[in-house]
Amino acid sequence: VKKKPPTSQPSPPAAKPWEAAQGHGSACDPLAARFVESLSYDTRLYRHDIAGSIAHARMLAKVGLITADDLGAIERGLDEIRAEIDAQGEAWPGWRIELEDVHMCIEAALIEKVGDAGRKLHTGRSRNDQVALDLRLWANDAVDALDASFHRLYAAFINLAARDGRIVMPSYTHLQRAQPIVVGAELLAWLEAFGRCGDRLATLMLMDRDNPLGSGAIAGSSLALDREATTQALEIFEQPTASSLDATASRDVAIDFVYALAMTAQWLSRWAEQWIIYASTEFGFITLDERYTTGSSMMPQKRNPDMLELIRGRCGNVYGHLVALLTICKGLTIGYNRDLQEDKRHLFAAYDTVRDGLAMAARIVATTHFNEARIADGLDRGFLDATSIAEYLVTRGLPFRTAHQIVGRLVKRCLDRGVPRLADLKIEEFNTVCRDAGAGGDACGKDVYDWLGPANVVDRYRSAGNAGTSGFEAQLAVWRKRLADTAADIRC
Amino acid sequence: VKKKPPTSQPSPPAAKPWEAAQGHGSACDPLAARFVESLSYDTRLYRHDIAGSIAHARMLAKVGLITADDLGAIERGLDEIRAEIDAQGEAWPGWRIELEDVHMCIEAALIEKVGDAGRKLHTGRSRNDQVALDLRLWANDAVDALDASFHRLYAAFINLAARDGRIVMPSYTHLQRAQPIVVGAELLAWLEAFGRCGDRLATLMLMDRDNPLGSGAIAGSSLALDREATTQALEIFEQPTASSLDATASRDVAIDFVYALAMTAQWLSRWAEQWIIYASTEFGFITLDERYTTGSSMMPQKRNPDMLELIRGRCGNVYGHLVALLTICKGLTIGYNRDLQEDKRHLFAAYDTVRDGLAMAARIVATTHFNEARIADGLDRGFLDATSIAEYLVTRGLPFRTAHQIVGRLVKRCLDRGVPRLADLKIEEFNTVCRDAGAGGDACGKDVYDWLGPANVVDRYRSAGNAGTSGFEAQLAVWRKRLADTAADIRC
Amino acid sequence: VKKKPPTSQPSPPAAKPWEAAQGHGSACDPLAARFVESLSYDTRLYRHDIAGSIAHARMLAKVGLITADDLGAIERGLDEIRAEIDAQGEAWPGWRIELEDVHMCIEAALIEKVGDAGRKLHTGRSRNDQVALDLRLWANDAVDALDASFHRLYAAFINLAARDGRIVMPSYTHLQRAQPIVVGAELLAWLEAFGRCGDRLATLMLMDRDNPLGSGAIAGSSLALDREATTQALEIFEQPTASSLDATASRDVAIDFVYALAMTAQWLSRWAEQWIIYASTEFGFITLDERYTTGSSMMPQKRNPDMLELIRGRCGNVYGHLVALLTICKGLTIGYNRDLQEDKRHLFAAYDTVRDGLAMAARIVATTHFNEARIADGLDRGFLDATSIAEYLVTRGLPFRTAHQIVGRLVKRCLDRGVPRLADLKIEEFNTVCRDAGAGGDACGKDVYDWLGPANVVDRYRSAGNAGTSGFEAQLAVWRKRLADTAADIRC
Amino acid sequence: VKKKPPTSQPSPPAAKPWEAAQGHGSACDPLAARFVESLSYDTRLYRHDIAGSIAHARMLAKVGLITADDLGAIERGLDEIRAEIDAQGEAWPGWRIELEDVHMCIEAALIEKVGDAGRKLHTGRSRNDQVALDLRLWANDAVDALDASFHRLYAAFINLAARDGRIVMPSYTHLQRAQPIVVGAELLAWLEAFGRCGDRLATLMLMDRDNPLGSGAIAGSSLALDREATTQALEIFEQPTASSLDATASRDVAIDFVYALAMTAQWLSRWAEQWIIYASTEFGFITLDERYTTGSSMMPQKRNPDMLELIRGRCGNVYGHLVALLTICKGLTIGYNRDLQEDKRHLFAAYDTVRDGLAMAARIVATTHFNEARIADGLDRGFLDATSIAEYLVTRGLPFRTAHQIVGRLVKRCLDRGVPRLADLKIEEFNTVCRDAGAGGDACGKDVYDWLGPANVVDRYRSAGNAGTSGFEAQLAVWRKRLADTAADIRC
């Protein structure tokens, strides 16, 4: 390898450079200890781990594998540990990196507290089914938390729609001006998309409600574990997993979760991009609150939409986590493999990113204003009513493809003669063009003007789900009702 | 840029080199024509496109936007076109690349056949809602086809399990021998995983059953379209889409579909890897049928598992399609953008890959044999009964962690003294080790030998979902019942 | 699995539906034949395969493993086959799907033509090293072809820069107006990025110039092959590969190639996005040629930038191919595995996509106009000269952070008093603000106005590589020289 | 959204649950502060940031934009800050989250220390070019560090090859036994692959050696910055970047770096998979040191290859980082966008993962033993010498394809008659088979036995780069020389 010229300080860059100097007195290989541990990212499971252990211990007592005294000691010990970690967090002395993970740290602390009873907790259990359980318990809580985040975002869109939703604006296909709509139609389009994201997460998480606890290391147990009992005690499950091999080898729950997050990130990135464009000087459709932009002390008028940019960019992070999980599982044999340990790293990071993204999105939506005057300024540009007049001609009996051609000639006439708007053409000109296209000379009546101009157009849309006044009002009512049903749960 | 030495023939490589010579006499830019067309991959939508058009035309007639005569002509024309394409396939003269896509080719052919009535078909419709509809109709058929493929695979696993499922084999964690199981437990583990894949696909596709037809280009229509009528006519939908912007801008259905395929590809790759390893000389657990291996005329004993390797490798293809779709949608503004046209390329290719992969997997499973004698040869290696004896000690009152330590010493004793199996130790030796561990000198009774040896162990598993005899038989019965319910639909 | 309601026609959708009906009379499994073949996408290698075979045969003759007569027959036969395929393309009767791939089809045709001499061609060779060789020969030609495509794009940017490059326009950070630049600075920024893409491809392809031919199936050969001879004959290599295992198991060349394409796709997507925004009505900075937009017969003024959108969207395709290749190779054991066959699918598709994207980009750049008047209209918006005046104050001795604060106050003064431009402030106002900031009352001289206004600012930039007049002219000269050096090779 | 049954504790899970309770008294939005900061992952840049600032300040003094006194104060201040952070690490009080990033924290601390001189440091600079510079300086150090890691791995392979490399073992294609090789051939195959990974990283990083400092926010500067001076002072660059827009908008350096890491991760995953298989009981080819396996106190004989599994699994992490970066840059307009801030997150994490993976791989290679006896046991299985005998027949004048067929019949004869090895056939049997194939009755001489048996075969390979004795020894010598050249730099 040809090398670039040496630099003056060739020392290897450490993650945090000051860590480089730290000596490791450990007898065994310190890299090995650092290499296998998951404690640096799995401590957030402690409540779920303890809840799972208590359910397991109660079942062991029920079937007679431990005594009532053992159970009492275990419950007391685990309650104490939870309280300690609640209070001390990262500073809890039980976090010992050499024990590798949250499970072993808690079990070790328990044994220290209650002795032999603690040594019985792991009866008929393995870390393989234990972590599979913890993950599902955590996912269940995480879905609840995200559900609240989604609802806050829904509420923010609805509130904004209620205030600014009736402003007439252009819609865009190919980022080119297409037809006039009301602002609310776009807001409720985002709402549909995010609503689908929330539904997808809930649907995927409800798909598989099997309790892995009791699957052991890979083959189950020869002890008479009562898996129905733990299933019932843990509340969120419907039945025990049917295959101990599958239960300990699958990470489908984690991947499904991250996929649902990736789809949410997709829509967050699309919405962010749209609003970044709307916030540009050239569009000027919206004004973002200065709390959610970064100004410049040199250019106080400037409002960089950094939050939106970060939301957009972090879509990449979540996609990356999905790819990582899919790659990890590609070609992996059945039965637990240590590769699977990495799942939590991606699951937790993707969750944090999307949860924060949703929260920030709700704040931005709640504080943004659509600039009615500025939007109105440009509404006459782009012949936004061209499709409307074609539909008018259809109501006058012309085949659509013929009407389509006629409108093309009308617009061309405007362009050729410097007429800015279709509404500025005289009725005779409309009919001349129709006649020239072989459509009869009275295709247009005076009512043609009722179909022209953005304000007329948005009021004329009649199809269900349209982006004009009637579609907006109907859809807004649906969402208000939907939100009202769950309002008690939302803390906006 | 420094260039490598020139080669003798520097002509640019064309996709199919002989195409390079073809002249293009076209007046307009031939690259542009090739660049925008989707006809090379969207013709497979023709039946769905025609079905959608007929539903649309009937609705137009119902609400009076076209006449009964128009409708008759449209239906007759479209029926003819479908029959022509059914018969002529790619050779149908209506496929004209300059019309870009399946939709325009069919509409143009219709107008040629029936004149003005054909020109009315597109009333209140746009290619934007038309393609969104076609995609959903196609997806619905595709789910049916995949469902049949999944069921054939399920049936193959069940049949194999019924024949070879009771053979005792080692299970593996970390690809190291762990505990004894029956072959059927592994087969049904794959079945659980693939069953979940089939469920996921169905679940995701049932999540969103909204009919996009009637959404127009982006804003809906000012004509009195009856979207409930088309929704009912098309049978697979529950209601019209609520937002015309969202309906034409979203490709969530395509991404969800491809995600479900990617998860299936994940499990296909895992199963393929496992069986490639099992088919190695060193493992020798299975013999693949020669139809699904490639031999070598030089080494007739050799059976390369090429089909399994291709199944494993094509997991990458499907992951790639998922990433492609996610990337395409990242940061895309709302409203139709031409980027979305690429969706079908990925959806169709991913579908073809997984459909073929499932079909090939079913054939392989149906023709593979587990080599009982060969597997039995090695069963005594690896102290597969170590966990069993630990659980025995638990039934004798020892805390699990203590039992765990004792077993460690027992195995070490075997290793130190060259004793190949735990069952070869005398009862006194068991109790000596227990005593030395402070566990009382009569921890083990004579019944300890009933817990030793792979055959005993697989019969002793008692927890629900275990990988031994009882778990296997119970799970097999569940799957047989599940399959029986749908048996009429399966063509194995 | 709960199923959705049955549809009327539940037949499985075939890729091309009309293919579903085709019967397969084949005795063996037709799915298996279709499953393993690569002939549907590897025929484009035929010239490279033949070139490799000729080099191999000449070496065999040189070392005495075949006779001069054998060599003559082989060369004659292969020349004929190449000529036949050149002429007949896909219709060449030698393409027989049951032979699986391009290599076997050509060898079979050769044996048919020349008998035993043909049977000697494969001496000391395996398909494993043969395909590795073909891939590198193909890649070498492909790099040449792409190099020409890159150069056409470079030339287009340079020509546009020469014509429109001196127009003053705003630059954007965060899509917010930042500082004034000249159009050419942006054009040459794209040029730098694409230049780097071209360099990266060439650099990666030059990195590994080892000839795999002679590596055999995995272990090399016991025959006295002269690998130096084939290396020299094939011209593009420097030495034989050093490890026969690595040579047949690695697909790094394919992945490196596709990575270089993915980076090119990245920049194509960024440029496309930028110009889609510039082509919007609201920005109006550029007018795209109608050959590279799709109009609407209804709205003749509309120019949808479909080509740019497809360029942007197909970035996803190329990313997908990269992920597919990386996934395929993840966790693959050394030695040839059939998974590797999929490499060509991705390599060829990614190549086609980027080659077409570059070609289309060159056409678009060559035919686009920057709208000077429209851009000029908005130049006074956004205080684009704020940074300039801060730098002026630095030249007057103020610390930059202090100057920065003063400019903030100046802009605020403009906003508060409705003064549209900094240049409209009086010299006294400048100095009042400076004094209030504690900076001395004569910080600004009359020359301050020479630093204000976009036209002044772009002329004042002095740092190397700046985005104003001097930077642009200097960079343009460099590129012209660079292009001139290779001009003989470019066919614009 | 239908919800799953409520759980008892629906509180949202925080990353570290104990953080949930922490109040934020901040006046502004605490989420916003957390949302935009990069300080939690960019502090590792502090040395590079300071080095860049010192080079910048010296240049400012040189061109007269600051005084010698200013420069003295800046240098003194920055030296102090570096010393403080070296000593205090994360505890340095200058790390203030509200300042967002490493750049602002250091500049703020400097101003606090030295007043107005500090306020002059940012003259003609922006965070946009500053972070681009820091990234490149960091990357340069990181390449040096990785280079050392690569070399330690090379050395480990070479040492192992020197000790165990001459053991004869089977090679595998399709994970089926193929031809005999020596262990060293496989070891040096990995070495070739990892050598290419090291070269790729160095090559990509050497490709672009342009100094971004002086590009400002986007357009450069109107001050007379001397970019050649900083370029020379910073040592690792060749010239200033040619385009200020490109310099601040591109993250190609980060993506190239992570791509090189991803390719390294690919090969780490392949090697890990291979050795996990070799370490299985069924293969038993290698014994891993217990420091790099996790045992089980219950099954002391068990050595789970957890380190190898983590190396394999973390390939997914690195692929994920690559996809994340590519996604972030997809469709991003030119000029700095805040999305780019995420680059460091992925760059640093991918670097840490691969650096640790290489280090762990070196330790594992250095401590692993190939089990000669165990490997030898199985060498007679699988007719590994079949290809050799075919090549023998070629030397006797048979066309290769004919020889190939004859060997097929010979092997079949062995299988049919229960003869375990080709070498056990009599010379007459060889010739009978040859004659039956029409090849003349004396095709085989007595010397045929010299071509049979794995030990003979590995000694007979003659082609350059072969996997037998001669190829191994030659390649080992090359690597030893290569390593010797850089030995002074390696700290094994």
pLDDT in tens, D126-151: 999 999 999 999 999 999 999 999 99
Asked if A255 is an interface residue toward chain B (Cβ–Cβ < 8 A), one would say yes
pLDDT in tens, A14-68: 566 554 433 333 346 889 999 999 999 999 999 999 999 999 999 999 999 999 9
List beta partners, residue D370.
Answer: D286
DSSP string, C152-220: HHHHHHHHHHHHHTT-EEEEEETTEEEEEEEHHHHHHHHHHHHHHHHHHHHHHHHH--EE-TT-TTTT-
pLDDT value of position B21:
37
DSSP string, B229-283: HHHHHTSS-SEE-S-HHHHHH--HHHHHHHHHHHHHHHHHHHHHHHHHHHTSTTT
Eight-class DSSP state of A304: B
For residue B328, the chain C residues in CB contact (below 8 A) are 313, 315-317
Instruction: Return the structure tokens found at C380.
Output: 């006074």
Please give, rounded to a whole number of angstroms, the shortest distance from the CA of D154 to a CA of chain A.
12
CA A384 – CA B465 distance, rounded (Å): 63
**Which is nearest to A190 in space by CA: A235, A160, A220?**
A160
CA B190 – CA B196 distance, rounded (Å): 10
Asked if C337 is an interface residue toward chain A (Cβ–Cβ < 8 A), one would say no
For residue A382, the chain C residues in CB contact (below 8 A) are 281, 301-302
Please report which confidence band the pLDDT of residue D28 belongs to, taking 50, 70 and 90 as the band edges. Answer: low
Given a cut of 70, whether residue B113 has pLDDT beyond it is yes
Q: Do A35 and D307 touch (CB under 8 A)?
A: yes
Please report which confidence band the pLDDT of residue D156 belongs to, taking 50, 70 and 90 as the band edges. Answer: very high
Q: Do A383 and C299 touch (CB under 8 A)?
A: yes
What ipTM score was computed for the predicted complex, to two decimals?
0.94
Given a cut of 60, whether residue C404 has pLDDT beyond it is yes
Asked if D437 is an interface residue toward chain B (Cβ–Cβ < 8 A), one would say no
For residue A386, the chain C residues in CB contact (below 8 A) are 298-299
Catalytic residue among C26, C40, C280, C296: C296
| Residue A238 CB partners (closer than 8 Å, separation 6+) | A209, A210, A231
**Which is nearest to A146 in space by CA: A83, A204, A210?**
A204
Q: Do A85 and D325 touch (CB under 8 A)?
A: no
pLDDT value of position C12:
44
- Asked if D213 and D234 count as a contact pair (C-beta separation under 8 A), the reply is yes
Greatest C-alpha distance within chain D: 100
Given a cut of 50, whether residue C25 has pLDDT beyond it is no
Arithmetic mean of pLDDT over chain D:
92
pLDDT value of position D208:
87
Three-class SS of residue A2?
A: coil
For residue A304, the chain C residues in CB contact (below 8 A) are 173-174, 176
Given a cut of 60, whether residue B491 has pLDDT beyond it is no
Given a cut of 50, whether residue A372 has pLDDT beyond it is yes
D56 is catalytic: no
pLDDT in tens, C140-179: 999 999 999 999 999 999 999 999 999 999 999 999 999 9
* Chain B residue with minimum CA distance to C1: B199
Catalytic residue among D26, D40, D296, D369: D296
For residue C344, the chain B residues in CB contact (below 8 A) are none
pLDDT over 90, % of chain C: 88
Please report which confidence band the pLDDT of residue C441 belongs to, taking 50, 70 and 90 as the band edges. Answer: confident
**Which is nearest to C10 in space by CA: B133, B146, B86?**
B146
| Residue D308 CB partners (closer than 8 Å, separation 6+) | D272, D275, D276, D279, D288, D292, D364
Out of B281, B300, B407, closest to residue D381 by CB = B281
pLDDT in tens, A84-138: 999 999 999 999 999 999 999 999 999 999 999 999 999 999 999 999 999 999 9
CA D176 – CA D166 distance, rounded (Å): 22
Give residues 65 to 94 of B whose Cβ lies within 8 Å of A. Answer: 65
Given a cut of 90, whether residue C6 has pLDDT beyond it is no
Arithmetic mean of pLDDT over chain B:
92
pLDDT in tens, B61-86: 999 999 999 999 999 999 999 999 99
| Among the ranges given (A164-178, B299-313, C31-45, D277-291), the one the predictor scored with the smallest mean pLDDT | B299-313
pLDDT in tens, A177-193: 999 999 999 999 999 99
pTM: 0.95
Given a cut of 90, whether residue B484 has pLDDT beyond it is no
Please report which confidence band the pLDDT of residue D271 belongs to, taking 50, 70 and 90 as the band edges. Answer: very high
* Chain A residue with minimum CA distance to D43: A16
| Residue C481 CB partners (closer than 8 Å, separation 6+) | none
pLDDT value of position A20:
42
pLDDT value of position B7:
40
pLDDT in tens, D464-490: 999 999 999 999 999 999 998 765 444
Please report which confidence band the pLDDT of residue B223 belongs to, taking 50, 70 and 90 as the band edges. Answer: very high
Asked if B333 is an interface residue toward chain A (Cβ–Cβ < 8 A), one would say yes
Q: Which residue type does C218 have?
A: I
Three-class SS of residue C126?
A: coil
Q: Which residue type does C45 have?
A: L
Please report which confidence band the pLDDT of residue B30 belongs to, taking 50, 70 and 90 as the band edges. Answer: confident
pLDDT value of position D1:
38
Q: Do C281 and A383 touch (CB under 8 A)?
A: no
Asked if A331 is an interface residue toward chain C (Cβ–Cβ < 8 A), one would say yes
Asked if A277 is an interface residue toward chain B (Cβ–Cβ < 8 A), one would say yes
* Side-chain-facing half-sphere of D31: CA atoms under 13 Å: 19
Please report which confidence band the pLDDT of residue A484 belongs to, taking 50, 70 and 90 as the band edges. Answer: confident
Helix pair D183-207, C252-278: axis angle to 10 deg: 30
pLDDT value of position D25:
33
Please give, rounded to a whole number of angstroms, the shortest distance from the CA of C287 to a CA of chain B.
17
pLDDT in tens, B361-373: 999 999 999 999 9
List beta partners, residue B17.
Answer: none
- Asked if B172 and A335 count as a contact pair (C-beta separation under 8 A), the reply is yes
What is the dihedral sign for C-alpha A395, A400, A404, A410? negative
Give the torsion through C-alpha atoms of B19, B25, B31, B34, to 10 deg.
Answer: -70
Instruction: Give one word for B400, left, alpha or beta, with left for phi > 0 and alpha for psi -120 to 50.
Output: alpha
DSSP string, C329-396: HTTPPSS--GGGGGHHHHHHHHHHHHHHHHHHHHHHHHH-EE-HHHHHHTTTTT-TTHHHHHHHHHHT
Among C190, C266, C278, pick the best mutation site for testing chain D contact (most D Cβ within 10 A): C266
- Asked if C360 and C311 count as a contact pair (C-beta separation under 8 A), the reply is yes
For residue C358, the chain B residues in CB contact (below 8 A) are none
Instruction: Return the structure tokens found at D217.
Output: 């926010």
CA D431 – CA D413 distance, rounded (Å): 13
CA C465 – CA D214 distance, rounded (Å): 9
Please report which helix (H) or strand (E) contains residue D349, including its range.
helix D343-367
pLDDT in tens, D314-324: 999 999 999 99
Given a cut of 60, whether residue D10 has pLDDT beyond it is no
Overall average pLDDT of the C344-367 stretch: 98
Burial C95-117 (b: 16+ CB within 10 A, else e): beeebbbbbebbbebbbebbeeb
pLDDT in tens, A402-431: 999 999 999 999 999 999 999 999 999 999
Catalytic residue among C11, C174, C297, C463: C174
pLDDT value of position B162:
97
Asked if B456 is an interface residue toward chain D (Cβ–Cβ < 8 A), one would say no
Please report which confidence band the pLDDT of residue C484 belongs to, taking 50, 70 and 90 as the band edges. Answer: confident
Catalytic residue among B8, B11, B174, B222: B174
pLDDT value of position B437:
87
pLDDT value of position C15:
61
Given a cut of 60, whether residue B400 has pLDDT beyond it is yes
CB atoms within 10 A of CB A15: 16
Arithmetic mean of pLDDT over chain A:
92
CA–centroid distance for A350 within its chain = 9
CA A280 – CA B18 distance, rounded (Å): 49
Please give, rounded to a whole number of angstroms, the shortest distance from the CA of C256 to a CA of chain D.
9
Please give, rounded to a whole number of angstroms, the shortest distance from the CA of B109 to a CA of chain C.
18
Asked if C319 is an interface residue toward chain D (Cβ–Cβ < 8 A), one would say yes
pLDDT value of position C440:
79
pLDDT value of position B487:
57
Given a cut of 90, whether residue B216 has pLDDT beyond it is yes
CA B284 – CA B278 distance, rounded (Å): 6
pLDDT value of position B28:
65
For residue D328, the chain A residues in CB contact (below 8 A) are 313, 315-317
pLDDT value of position D302:
78
Give residues 390 to 429 of B whose Cβ lies within 8 Å of C. Answer: none
For residue A308, the chain B residues in CB contact (below 8 A) are none
| Among the ranges given (A90-94, C255-259, C345-349, D20-24), the one the predictor scored with the smallest mean pLDDT | D20-24
Given a cut of 70, whether residue C210 has pLDDT beyond it is yes
List subunits contacting chain C, requiring 3 or more Cβ pairs under 8 Å. A, B, D
Among B190, B208, B243, pick the best mutation site for testing chain A contact (most A Cβ within 10 A): B243
